[in-house]
């Protein structure tokens, strides 16, 4: 039998696409292109169905059954504007790539004793940025603005959003044992936000605040 289900197609910040289904949370697959991601749905769905059968669980009532032998892997797709989102994630990637110049700033790069910047702190900052963008898109359907990624004090890295609506600075210390921190406000000065957080986990309060301006 063929199982007709809704699919969510989402571009990823590192490239490629992920496919999930709101009816079958166990169904997750991906591909380098839209076509490849959708082609992989058939095998992923077969694995999920087998899992349900092994555990003696019925499929959700809203899963529709049809002839399974000669049909496309996805009978219905919920397209979440993947072209626009892919463009947005592309801008995030461009911001990350352009910030690689920071890694060329070694100790005393300003001839004033400034500390250089390590690959580790740069990766910590850029990976968190990708997680923020992904969480905003998947949870709230919002594509956040690309920030500037800048050298900060004492070997830290700043991620700065500065627009005509708001300003937000997230700082990643050189010491990985120290928490990241952020503070920001809108242009009217009546929506301040400030906190410290573990940079290995995207701060949901920060994501929600950013999405208010999109």
pTM over 0.85: no
Question: Do 91 and 190 lie in a common domain?
Answer: yes
DSSP string spanning 27-76? -EEEESSHHHHHHTHHHHHHHHHHHHHHTTPPPPTT-EEE--SSS-S-S-
Q: How many domains does the chain have?
A: 2
Question: Do 194 and 127 lie in a common domain?
Answer: yes
Question: Do 72 and 88 lie in a common domain?
Answer: no
Question: Do 64 and 88 lie in a common domain?
Answer: no
3-class SS shares of the chain: helix, strand, coil, % to 5: 35, 25, 40
Range of the domain at 17: 2-79
**Which of 79, 103, 137 represents a domain boundary (last residue)?**
79
* Alpha helices per DSSP H over the chain: 34-39, 41-54, 82-98, 119-140, 204-211
How far apart CA 46 and CA 73 sit, in angstroms, is 10
Question: Do 144 and 205 lie in a common domain?
Answer: yes
Per-residue pLDDT of the chain (214 residues), as tens digits, is 556 677 777 777 777 878 887 777 778 888 887 778 777 888 888 888 888 888 788 877 666 554 333 333 333 333 334 555 667 788 898 999 999 999 999 999 989 899 999 999 999 999 999 888 887 776 666 788 999 999 999 999 999 999 999 999 999 999 999 999 999 999 989 889 999 999 988 888 898 888 777 7
Question: Do 129 and 47 lie in a common domain?
Answer: no
Residue 31: which CATH number? 3.30.160.250
Kindly report the number of other CB atoms within 10 A of residue 28's CB atom: 12
**Which of 59, 79, 99 represents a domain boundary (last residue)?**
79
Question: Do 94 and 173 lie in a common domain?
Answer: yes
SS3 188: coil
Question: Do 146 and 196 lie in a common domain?
Answer: yes
Is the Cβ–Cβ distance between 185 and 192 less than 8 Å? yes
Question: Do 89 and 178 lie in a common domain?
Answer: yes
Question: Do 46 and 111 lie in a common domain?
Answer: no
**Which of 34, 50, 79 represents a domain boundary (last residue)?**
79
Question: Do 72 and 126 lie in a common domain?
Answer: no
Is the Cβ–Cβ distance between 2 and 67 less than 8 Å? yes
Kindly report the number of other CB atoms within 10 A of residue 128's CB atom: 22
Question: Do 56 and 39 lie in a common domain?
Answer: yes
């Amino acid at each position: 039998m063929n199982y007709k289900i809704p699919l969510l197609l989402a571009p990823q910040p590192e490239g490629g696409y992920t496919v999930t289904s709101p009816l079958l949370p166990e169904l997750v697959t991906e591909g380098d292109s839209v076509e490849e991601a959708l082609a992989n749905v058939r095998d992923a769905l077969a694995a999920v169905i087998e899992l349900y059968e092994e555990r003696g669980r019925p499929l959700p009532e809203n899963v529709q059954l049809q002839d399974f032998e000669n049909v496309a892997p996805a009978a219905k797709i919920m397209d979440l504007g993947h072209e626009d989102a892919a463009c947005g994630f592309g801008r995030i990637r461009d911001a990350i790539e352009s910030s690689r110049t920071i890694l060329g700033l070694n100790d005393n790069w300003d001839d004033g004793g400034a500390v250089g910047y390590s690959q580790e702190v740069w990766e910590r900052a850029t990976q968190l940025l990708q997680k923020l963008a992904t969480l905003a898109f998947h949870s709230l359907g919002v594509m956040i603005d690309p920030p500037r990624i800048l050298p900060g004090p004492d070997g830290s890295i700043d991620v700065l959003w500065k627009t005509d609506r708001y300003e937000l600075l997230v700082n990643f210390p050189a010491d990985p044992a120290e928490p990241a921190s952020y503070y920001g406000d809108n242009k009217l000065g009546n929506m301040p936000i400030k906190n410290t957080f573990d940079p290995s986990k995207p701060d949901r309060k920060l994501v929600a605040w950013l999405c208010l301006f999109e």
